[in-house]
Amino acid sequence: MDFNYPVSLNLSGKKVVVIGGGNIAQRKVKDLLKTKCVLEVYAEEIDPNFHRYLEERKIKYQEQSYNEEKITDAFLVIAATNNREINHAISVFCNEKGILVNVVDERDDCNFLVNTVLRRGDLSISVSTNGKAPALAKRFIKELDETYPVEYAIFIELLYEFREMAKEQIADQEKRSEFLREIANLDVVSDLNHGDIEKVRERMKQCALSYTE
């Protein structure tokens, strides 16, 4: 099976179900909580790391095994039990109902994969090996982590700020695109690393002058 159409999903407010309570399920829950989805977990028992989520009321948990009724209205399901037959049954049901499903122990039971991701604010760099070599994907992410430091999160915000400005002040679309390419290629990481945000903003303003005059 090929997974050749990468997308980013908005899960905010959507029902997401994780079935399973082990370490892998806990890692899935940790990532999903960042999406502001409505998260439900079903398992006969859960990893101790789940308890903090329960105490903070971040997830709904029921102590029970897989039940089709619990996922009928789900937008997305993660099958993370330690039982191959149950995981496969979840996959079959979700595929029949058109529900997004990721099965942690068998890529061919999935209809989507969760890519390995490096996040820098609104910048997300994802790596996929089509589910064949996740360890290699993690290696690439580690290398990217060294190439794109946390300062890129600030850079993204500045680029957005000047993109909005350009829409108002640079009428010519070709010039506007050229300006945005130019500021995106500025070497600003060192300045941002030293907290010189205003210095970077001023460089961008100076760059804009040649396009707005």
pLDDT of residue 141: 94
What is the spatial distance between Cα 78 and Cα 85, in angstroms, rounded to a whole number?
15
The position carrying tokens 């790596």 is 127
Q: Is it the case that residue 169 has pLDDT exceeding 90?
A: yes
pLDDT (mean) for 132-146: 93
Band (65; pLDDT cuts 50, 70, 90): confident
Q: Where are the domains of the chain?
A: 1-114, 151-212
Domain 1-114, classified CATH 3.90.25.10, yes or no: no
pTM for this structure?
0.82
At 41, is the pLDDT very low, low, confident or very high (cuts 50, 70, 90)?
Answer: very high
pLDDT at 48: 87
Nearest to 75 by CA among 40, 43, 104: 40
Please report the pLDDT score of residue 188 as a whole number: 92
CB 32 within 8 A of CB 39: yes
pLDDT band at 213 (very low <50, low <70, confident <90, very high): low
> Beta strand pairing status for 15-19 and 76-79?
parallel
Give the percent of the chain with pLDDT over 70.
100
Residues 70-89 pLDDT 10s: 999 999 999 999 999 999 99
